[in-house]
Structure 1
């Protein structure tokens, strides 16, 4: 397995990690077996979150007797210090650990949210306090908003960033280069574009070719994925000409209806968080997380079904996506 330095941390992480979101739909025994097998295949970085149902709990049970073999990352949507303090304690209990290697501010989706979590009584303060107490070791930040992470990497607040990257979503490449210059670790989420990319091997090989990437975390819920993913991290086979042409063709095909979550379509007059609707649809249709996605979709005060088809979003989209039609599909999906 190839191991890379995770930014300014002292962690050497397997270039292929373990994305923990899909194990929530597995039986406990199956999830534990997957994680233990992944460790045996050389994978040593696992990512989860407070919001991933029982993912933390399953990981905690799997870690018994092998905690020192793993670098555990989790994250919280808490925006204030009290909420973050509570989530840290829950994570420690769930993960059955005295300390968490990397705790991340989760889905910081705008400058306003960034200012909130970093400001007085914000969630970042609770992370710093927990770090001083030894409850967490390093602090990171995740976002789908390029501008937020461009701000974050010019500070000394974070050891890592987490951002989507795949053959369709390549707008973060300059961000990753600058992060490496600043000695900040780069964690890649959505390597298969939320399940839209079916050629998993090619997609992962494309990502690990980028020297600015520290670790990529494909979601794992099947034993075959453990062996295939670990093999990619071990063999490091460059893409050939034909494979690159195939990926370029796939990129063009997906480009017609795939949301990159750049946010240029916003603000919506109805206050719909348009990119979030497509993200939830992906979890429902491609990740086989229907119950989890429905709960989050219904929990929104304003949903895709509230679209009045005014069309103001579409001229702003740099990819010319048929957003109104796509929102209508999301609404139908969650009826």
Structure 2
């Protein structure tokens, strides 16, 4: 989704991926010309006889939920044509974010579409990506309709790891969505976070944290060959965390706790539901990262996308807190939640910004 300046840029990234031992390409029609550029690059590599060993490329693309059977069929065939392949290894329902999206897959037009894609050999297996609630993701995993899931799993936000473990226990593949950029813009971390993670790079520690948890696939999102350097160095690093990694992870957590003191939100979610639909844990998570590791650019960008990205992100920011106090008796740590939400808004509210993909 990032190597989109020219087809030659995509070809350069794929050559570097081969050299790094990468065999999985994940894309979507929504990512501008990505599928077309990938198709051209794959054709060039086929002509050169260059492909990963042990079965060649594994290709994942996506379909948006909610469309009709006919439009879904046409969209899938268009993806196959752009990519220059007859079969997708993995088809992900792209953004299974609402209950209506899951209903579409389980009993609506989506169910018919998936059956057709599998029966005609256009797709080998079906999964989903989700930015939705934990309850929705758990329901999707338990449905037995999917063979893999793509989730936001991050070193600095491990709250969905139990969902990943649930999927792994059901023999589902688990892909971590953007552990670098959405994980805290770890490819360009703050000086404070770099110090907290020393002697490791923050992104190196984030990758190892997820690999050691059993996550089967990490997305890298390369714009250039240089972006794959770290992935290449970690190609065989999927074993348990070693003593030094565990020490640094404990230090990272301790530093966050020291800086936030009694105002640290532990993300237990006991404060919910909010009568004004304020997503309290998510907003206080951004505050944790801003005060705890000085991730101001990342947290500011995420905060100012609220209400501007549809069902892909939160729709209500901290200014909607009415200080009703409904959440206060439910917080096990007696956090002054309305005051912390007001601080979050003062700290992070700014002019609106555009998300990468609208």
**TM-score, scaled relative to structure 1:** 0.72
Q: In the TM superposition, what is the alpha-carbon distance from 1:334 to its structure 2 partner?
A: 1.3
Higher mean C-alpha deviation, range 166-175 or range 307-316: 307-316
Give CA-to-partner distance per residue, 1:32-77, whole Å, 9 cap, x none. 2111220232110121222222222222222114476211111232
Q: In the TM superposition, what is the alpha-carbon distance from 1:298 to its structure 2 partner?
A: 7.0
SS at match of 1:72: strand
* Alpha-carbon distance change, 56 to 112 in structure 1, aligned in 2, over 3 angstroms: same
Q: Which of 42, 49, 58 is 2:28 aligned to? A: 49
Q: In the TM superposition, what is the alpha-carbon distance from 1:268 to its structure 2 partner?
A: 7.0
Equivalent residue, structure 2, for 1:118: 106
Q: Which of 153, 170, 174 is 2:141 aligned to? A: 153
Distance 1:164 1:265 in 2: 20
Q: In the TM superposition, what is the alpha-carbon distance from 1:317 to its structure 2 partner?
A: 8.6
Whether 2:154 is the aligned partner of 1:166: answer: yes
* Alpha-carbon distance change, 157 to 222 in structure 1, aligned in 2, over 3 angstroms: same
Whether 2:187 is the aligned partner of 1:208: answer: no
Whether 2:352 is the aligned partner of 1:334: answer: yes
Distance 1:51 1:87 in 2: 11
Higher mean C-alpha deviation, range 239-248 or range 310-319: 310-319
Distance 2:168 2:244 in 1: 30
Give CA-to-partner distance per residue, 1:5-53, whole Å, 9 cap, x none. xxxxxxxxxxxxxxxx3324x4331222111220232110121222222
Equivalent residue, structure 2, for 1:244: 246
Q: In the TM superposition, what is the alpha-carbon distance from 1:104 to its structure 2 partner?
A: 0.8
SS at match of 2:236: helix
Whether 2:122 is the aligned partner of 1:135: answer: yes
Q: Determine if contact 1:167/1:251 at 8 Å carries over to the other structure.
A: no
**TM-score, scaled relative to structure 2:** 0.68
* Alpha-carbon distance change, 131 to 259 in structure 1, aligned in 2, over 3 angstroms: farther
Whether 2:220 is the aligned partner of 1:218: answer: yes
Q: In the TM superposition, what is the alpha-carbon distance from 1:244 to its structure 2 partner?
A: 2.7
SS at match of 1:98: coil
- Unmatched 5+ stretches in structure 2: 190-201, 287-296, 354-358
Distance 2:352 2:76 in 1: 32
* Alpha-carbon distance change, 143 to 239 in structure 1, aligned in 2, over 3 angstroms: same
Distance 1:317 1:328 in 2: 22
Q: In the TM superposition, what is the alpha-carbon distance from 1:166 to its structure 2 partner?
A: 2.1
Q: Determine if contact 1:140/1:159 at 8 Å carries over to the other structure.
A: yes
SS at match of 2:3: helix
Q: In the TM superposition, what is the alpha-carbon distance from 1:181 to its structure 2 partner?
A: 2.8
Q: Which of 143, 158, 177 is 2:165 aligned to? A: 177
Equivalent residue, structure 2, for 1:27: 6
Give CA-to-partner distance per residue, 1:201-233, whole Å, 9 cap, x none. 11111111123x221212222323313202202
SS at match of 1:69: coil
Equivalent residue, structure 2, for 1:310: 322
Equivalent residue, structure 2, for 1:13: none
- Unmatched 5+ stretches in structure 1: 1-20, 280-284
Distance 1:330 1:135 in 2: 45
Ranked by relative contact order (alpha carbons within 8 Å, sequence separation 6 or more), the top structure is: 1
Larger Rg: 2
Distance 1:252 1:186 in 2: 29
* Alpha-carbon distance change, 232 to 125 in structure 1, aligned in 2, over 3 angstroms: same
Distance 2:276 2:332 in 1: 19
Equivalent residue, structure 1, for 2:193: none
Matched length: 305
SS at match of 1:186: strand
